[in-house]
A and B are shown apart, each in its own frame.
Chain A
Amino acid sequence: MKILVVDDDDLLVEQLTADLLAQNYVVDTTSDGLLGWEYATATPYDLIVLDINLPGLDGVSLCQRLRQGGYAGAILLLTGRSSSDDKVMGLNAGADDYLVKPYTLVELTARLRALLRRPQLVSSPTLRYGSLELDPNGSLVTVADRPVELSPKEYGLLELFLRHPDRIFSNTLLLERLWSVEDAPGEETIRTHIKRLRRKLKQAGVDDMIENVYGMGYRLRPESVGPDVGPDVSDAAPTPAEPDRAAAAREAAIAAFERFRPTIDQRMAALRDAALALKANHLPTIVQTAAQGAAHKLAGSLGLFGYGAGSHLARRLEDWLEQPDLAQGQTFNGLVDQLDALLRSPPVAASTENNTAIVPLPPAAALGDRIAVVAVDDDPIMLAQLQSLLPRWGVDVLGLQDPRQTLATLEASPPDLLLLDLDMPSLSGLDLCHQLRQIDRWQTLPIVCLTACRDAATLYHLYQAGADDYLPKPMVEPELVSRIFHRVERGRLLQTLAGVDPHSGLANRQKGTIELKLLLALAQRQGEIVTLLVIQITPKNPPGEATPIRSLGQSLTGLLGSGDVLACWGPSEFIVGLWATDRAAAQALLGQTLKLQLMDKLSSSSDALGTLDTTANGTTVNAINIDAITVGTATFPVDGQTLPLLYRQAQRPAARLPLSP
């Protein structure tokens, strides 16, 4: 992966480069916008990090130029300004993400990795050359709508030429763009690929598309303005301004109404049938179902033809039919009469901007589990509103009216996100936020503030206190929902990258591997021994409500010294690395102690996990959620020198540490 960093902050560039190099990325840096453009056009990058304020050429313009030049990789903008206009401008210019200064290096690398992980970064528009079309999203090439079969390399060549219509590509440049260093072929191979591509294009009806430039390379032959190029009607006709076109579309819709009048009349007839039936105080199911279907369709369509009020009436009719109350039949009949009258009056071609909504759905990845949110607000109406809105989006809300109970509540049921009202009488949201951020455990908890004030000073204090985001009051459902999803997803990502296992709160497998390898390397250098303990828990089948893993993790933490490593290896597995400890010492230290201590800690833990019983096969826990605990050991360097080997050794039955007295 190749990354270009364009920033004039030397200190940041130095830190970032060191960090990225440590993660095996190839990094180029420059402090000038124009040089950045040179770099980016000379070498393909997977990701470009751009500061907004740059000498030479500013970040937003550079971003725009890169996108126009066909750069398809990721772009992350760094900005010192937090006004949303700048962000919008940046995103419109083609950036994939932005980060507001000051930020932490951890956050920056997290964003970079998230961007690099995205498989399809930009949904690229279809590339065209005469009747040839190349759709980068589906890797599909067609000529006059007939597909052309190309090999991956031929496709790559064609895409490259189409993306850079004015550029001459030398053999070296083609090699650099389309082949990796390891499998770079000779120039003869490139000629063969070009020849095959030309032949296939010719067979499909596009001749002479790629030309040789003597002594220099290849390029796309400039498109002739012949019959091959269809006239672009939309560009030929004078393009009316956006509002005019919107008005034209509304008028066209109204003009189409007469054509659909018979359909609308049929639907109205179904409603009148129901009205008639209701006058006789009897609504047969078949009539009710037909009327309900008709009302549903009218609700969805009348507004299209300038009858917004009609859609509204139809929706009320649909609701009424959902649970018909025969005694209130005249309500229904009244609504049908109103709708009838409305449809005889002329339609109104008005913008319904405030009434039509497009609601973004959360990304599928965010839907793995339900999201738990704790909402702190002194206003019970607000809490009730949140509790009625959010559950259908998969978000469960625990409402808290007294902010002073926040800490206790968080500890009792750790949420995925905290919604915090800023304006509360007993304790200010800012103070609370600040207090929470002082506590290790809540440093990474996503906190979103709700506030009626949106002035710069308030927002500054809000971020200063450690909030991640804010939502203006009054809340709008789509915004509320998408912010929550966004924050929770990012929070989970940051936790993973920071090396924290979300269930146990311990180091995750990734971070644990690094720490254990460091421990082993240190032991090797100092001629010291290390004993690895693999602690496996068999959860009750089926597992109970509460997962014991957090309590267990905390119990283990208390048993270890400062040089030891503890990590959560999987959903029911811990790994401990004990510095300067052999198997016998581990046994002495932990055998009886582990049992007693675990027993003690488990029985006194808040979720009362129970007591331990020792059997020949290991230790059984008389617990609500655990069936058994086994502890396997392996010692460095006698049982193995590498982590995988030691881990395998510890898995053998003979390596099991007897926990019996």
Chain B
Amino acid sequence: MTDKRILIIDDEADVREIAKVSLEITKHWQVTTAASGDEGLALASSCHPDAILLDVVMPQVDGLATLIKLRENMATCHIPVILLTATIRLATQPAYAAAGAKAILVKPFDPGLLGSQIETALGW
């Protein structure tokens, strides 16, 4: 069952922690977390996750900048990305879809359902 690796990039510690706990409990996935876009980029190329949950609103390197950098790197360009946002309108700009984000997940998510929702969105 531990067949998926997920990377969560979010500057808010509570969201990171709950997402991690939720995916570990419900799906037994291996979850790595990053508190900033830069940290996330480094982890994405070293730990080869199966999917990335990416917060849209972050200080310094925000979600879109992170997404674009993920796409520019050969090692990370194929990893599916789901955007996390509390405000759906922030993520519906065509730029996010153009950069290849797969879906938008509206915060707060239900810790009981997060894993299944990711599976559905990515066709796992």
Binding site for B on A (CB under 8 A): 120, 123, 125-126, 135, 137-138, 140, 232-235, 239, 242, 245-250, 252-253, 256, 259-260, 263-264, 296-297, 299-305, 308, 311, 315, 318, 351-353, 355-364, 367, 392-394
Contacts and interface: CB of A to CB of B under 8 A. Distances in A.
B109 A304 contact: yes
Given A245-B25, A253-B111, A304-B111, A356 B48 contact: no
A303 B110 CA distance: 7
B12 A248 contact: no
B9 interface: no
Contact of B112 (A239, A247, A256): A247
Contact of A301 (B83, B107, B118, B120): B107
A219 B113 CA distance: 41
A202 to B, nearest CB: 24
Given A252-B21, A358-B104, A352 B110 contact: yes
A314 B21 CA distance: 24
A361 B101 contact: yes
B18 interface: yes
Interface of B: 1-3, 12-15, 17-18, 21-22, 25-26, 28, 48, 50, 57, 75, 78, 80, 82-83, 85-89, 92, 94, 96-114, 117-118, 120-124
A394 B93 CA distance: 9
B106 A301 contact: no
B48 A394 contact: no
A360 B117 CA distance: 11
A11 B94 CA distance: 46
B25 A351 contact: no
Contacts of B122: 123
13 contacts: A120-B78, A135-B48, A248-B25, A250-B110, A250-B111, A256-B17, A296-B86, A301-B12, A301-B15, A301-B107, A301-B108, A315-B86, A367-B94
Nearest to B14: A260
B25 to A, nearest CB: 4
B1 A252 contact: no
B8 to A, nearest CB: 13
B18 A256 contact: yes
A64 to B, nearest CB: 16
Contacts of B85: 300
Contacts of B113: 246, 351-353, 356
Contacts of B109: 303-304, 356
Nearest to A122: B123
Contacts of A233: 2
Contacts of B103: 358-361
B100 A364 contact: yes
Query: Nearest 7 CB-CB pairs, A to B?
Result: A303-B108, A246-B112, A300-B86, A300-B107, A361-B97, A234-B1, A253-B111
A140 B78 CA distance: 13
Contacts of A246: 26, 112-113
A360 B121 contact: yes
Nearest to B17: A256
Nearest to A248: B25
A305 B100 CA distance: 31
Contacts of B117: 356, 358
Contact of A235 (B1, B18, B75, B99): B1
Nearest to B85: A300
Contacts of A362: 97
A393 B112 contact: no
B14 A393 contact: no
Contacts of A296: 57, 86-87
Nearest to B5: A126
B98 A234 contact: no
Nearest to B75: A138
**Which residue of A300, A356, A364, A394 has the most chain B CB atoms within 10 A of its CB atom?**
A300
Contact of B2 (A232, A357, A392): A232
Nearest to B109: A356
A272 to B, nearest CB: 19
B1 to A, nearest CB: 4
Contacts of A299: 86-87, 107-108
Contact of A392 (B14, B92, B99): B92
A137 B78 contact: yes
Contacts of A311: 108
A254 to B, nearest CB: 9
B97 A364 contact: yes
Given A249-B21, A299-B107, 16 more contacts: A248-B25, A249-B22, A249-B111, A250-B112, A253-B18, A263-B14, A300-B85, A301-B107, A303-B109, A304-B111, A352-B110, A356-B113, A358-B120, A359-B104, A359-B106, A364-B100
A249 B104 contact: no
Contacts of A361: 83, 96-97, 101-104
